[in-house]
Chain A
Amino acid sequence: MFSLRYLKVWVGGAILLLLCVCGVAAPLLAPRDPQAQTLEDRLRPPRWNENGSPAYFLGTDNLGRDMLSRIIYGSRISLIVGAATVIFAGLVGCTLGAIAGYFGRGADEVVSKISEIFLAFPFLLIAIAIMAFLGQGVGNLIMALMLSRWVQYCRVVRGEVLSLKQRDFITAAKALGGRDWYVLLRHVLPNTFASVTVIATFGMAIVIITEASLSFLGLGVPVHIPTWGSMLSEGRSYINRAPWLTIFPGLAIFITVFGINLLGDGLRDIFDPKLRRQR
């Protein structure tokens, strides 16, 4: 259980768990109100710097708000948005992709048409349209990101299923009298797991980064909700004067993405049935 093979899962899981704890217990962990402005203390460097103040461990931003508290609170939105998008997009995409790939013909035709329509829209456009129509908000952001992400799962699962369908063990399973749905769920889908995990882990990372890009274009979540993405995009113009405004949110994003990827990698190694057989 504690072999090197599981190390990735443990480390990645620990990082993700830590983040979840941060998000849930933000009010308890954060030393200050992330919204409280102290204009006299604006742009204070982190504590270990010579001008740093012990009151602000990671320094303050351009409105004199505590960076540490904002980063702790920021994990909430990043995690909620990331997880919700991946789950919804993954469910929708995998289901449609598997149906299209396995049953082919009519089902494939319909799903491919729909996915073509969605793929034709650059995701930013979907996001901009939804944000403009419904206004800013976490829910709308998740919706926008989901609509732009599900196609990825759909296409890859479809491609994999198409290829798997031709393989001997599927033909054998069918020949042995397995019903379509049974074969699909028991034999085909588990074999797509590796690719889906890879896409999902990267998907989550991309979602977190997309949130930042939307902030860059002035969309995204309302300003009073601190997110890593908006901190990064607002802090960018202070790169000379106060680099910590971009370094810490950037690090937060990096560590999160790193953790998620590690977890995904490890999970794939464990769950991949063929891998288990081999080793």
Chain B
Amino acid sequence: MNTLGRRLIGAIPVLLGISFLIFLLMHIAPGDPVTLLLGDDATPADIERTRHEWGLDQPLIVQYYDFVNRAVRGDFGKSLKFNESVTKLIAERLPATLELAFASLCVAIMIAVPLGVYSAIKHDSLFDHAGMSIALIGVSLPNFWLGIMLIYFLGGQLNLLPVAGRIEYGVEVKTLTGLYLLDSLLTANFAAFWNVLQHLLMPAFTLGSALAAIVTRISRSSVLEVMRQDYVTTARAKGLSETNVIWRHILRNALITIVTILGLQLGALLSGSVITETVFSYPGIGDLLIQSISARDYKLTQVLILMFAITYFVVNLLIDLLYSWIDPRIKF
């Protein structure tokens, strides 16, 4: 518990550091939100007036102080591009991304871990080589391209799945958690569940495929690694059954590496969501981030990235805790 508290307190300076860095980076990087918003017709005088109106002509440090001062009180300001409070914008989109990320993770784990572990156990067999080749294809495809191909074939040519969005207009889900799959199950609305699932399949597969490939490889190699350890040989020598050896000794130890990689891949998953959501017009925060960066929407970008940072921090904290649970020898 002590460790946990220390880590939580230790996170505060990191988050402040990140927020200042982003703030600086965004303001140093060229591009002005007002010029972008006002478009073709704006004259320099219009632009100056609007900048003043929104307080963008204030010195940087004043703007930053203002931001932190408000943020501490829970007010993250207003997005210039969307003309809406940042909190509301994120709140309405976060569940979508969580749902997508979770679905992708499921896709990846369900494909990858069994494939990787089995490949390792059947080391150098035909199955092993075939499995690894599939994994290779998975990482060799840029996910925007995979997404577009899926849209083209499954959506356009075969007309099997919807190509854009989260849910069909006219299908209603009562919002409880914002995760449509969960909400529709809780309200026993199976038609909506099916519709949401159909919308989720292609994006989740697109986002999950690269992850699946990586996890397959890592599971395989870490299982192989563990299989060569002395304690496995010992376990076998003791006459334990093969199943027992695999489950009790090999898998448990191999899990450490697999879990690390999953934690590390969270960043990749969030980055990937930027592209996947753009391709599938999926209304999540990845899509929001790209739009806000290209509009130079300072406040929104700032808060979004901080949110990525916090998510990441929390997940990795959980992973470290998991570590010591899986392998009690590791201490902090």
Interface residues of A (CB under 8 A from B): 109, 113, 116-117, 119-125, 128-129, 132-133, 151-152, 155-156, 159-160, 162-163, 166, 194-195, 198, 202, 205-206, 209, 212-213, 216-217, 229, 232-233, 236, 239, 246, 250, 253-254, 257-258, 261, 268, 274-275, 278
Contact = CB atoms under 8 A, between A and B. Distances in A.
Interface stretch (B141-149, B174-182, B244-252): B141-149
B221 A195 contact: yes
Contacts of A194: 221, 225
A166 B253 CA distance: 14
A250 B145 contact: yes
A116 B14 contact: yes
Interface stretch (B34-42, B132-140, B161-169, B183-191): B132-140
B112 interface: no
A274 B224 CA distance: 11
B152 interface: yes
Query: Top 6 nearest A-B pairs by Cβ distance?
Result: A120-B309, A122-B271, A212-B142, A254-B140, A257-B140, A216-B144
Contacts of A166: 329-330
Given A132-B30, A163-B327, A202-B214, A124 B274 contact: yes
B313 interface: yes
17 contacts: A120-B312, A121-B308, A121-B309, A122-B305, A123-B268, A133-B30, A159-B256, A163-B256, A194-B221, A205-B140, A216-B144, A217-B290, A232-B145, A233-B145, A236-B145, A258-B136, A278-B228
B114 interface: no
Interface string B18-31: 10010001101111
A120 B312 CA distance: 6
Given A155-B264, A202-B139, A125 B293 contact: yes
Contacts of B192: none
Contact of B142 (A122, A124, A232): A232
Given A132-B29, A162-B330, A198-B221, A212 B145 contact: yes
Nearest to A128: B293
B270 A261 contact: no
Contacts, number: 141
Interface in B39-89: none
A202 B25 contact: no
Contacts of B145: 212, 232-233, 236, 246, 250
Q: Is the interface of B mostly helix, strand, loop or mixed?
A: helix
Given A133-B28, A209-B140, 4 more contacts: A198-B221, A206-B210, A254-B136, A257-B139
Interface string B148-166: 1100100000000000000
Interface string B198-237: 0000000000001000100110010001001000000000
A117 B17 contact: yes
B260 interface: yes
A236 B146 CA distance: 10
A236 B148 contact: yes
B195 interface: no
Nearest to A279: B228
Contact of A213 (B25, B136, B275, B316): B275
Interface in B255-297: 256-257, 260-261, 264, 267-268, 270-271, 274-275, 278, 289-290, 293
B178 to A, nearest CB: 22
Contacts of B309: 117, 120-121
Contacts of B26: 129
A133 B29 contact: yes
Interface in B1-19: 10-11, 13-14, 17-18
B313 A120 contact: yes
A120 B228 contact: no
A268 B222 CA distance: 12
A198 B218 contact: yes
B308 A120 contact: yes
A275 B142 CA distance: 34
B270 A122 contact: yes
B19 to A, nearest CB: 10
Contacts of B149: 239
A239 B144 CA distance: 14
A233 B256 contact: no
A213 B271 CA distance: 11
Given A213-B142, A258-B140, A274-B228, A119 B312 contact: yes
A250 B149 CA distance: 12
A122 B268 CA distance: 7
B270 to A, nearest CB: 5
Contacts of A109: 10
A275 B29 CA distance: 50
Contacts of B29: 129, 132-133
Contacts of A202: 139, 214, 217
Given A125-B289, A212-B145, A261-B136, A117 B256 contact: no
Given A163-B256, A195-B221, A123 B271 contact: yes
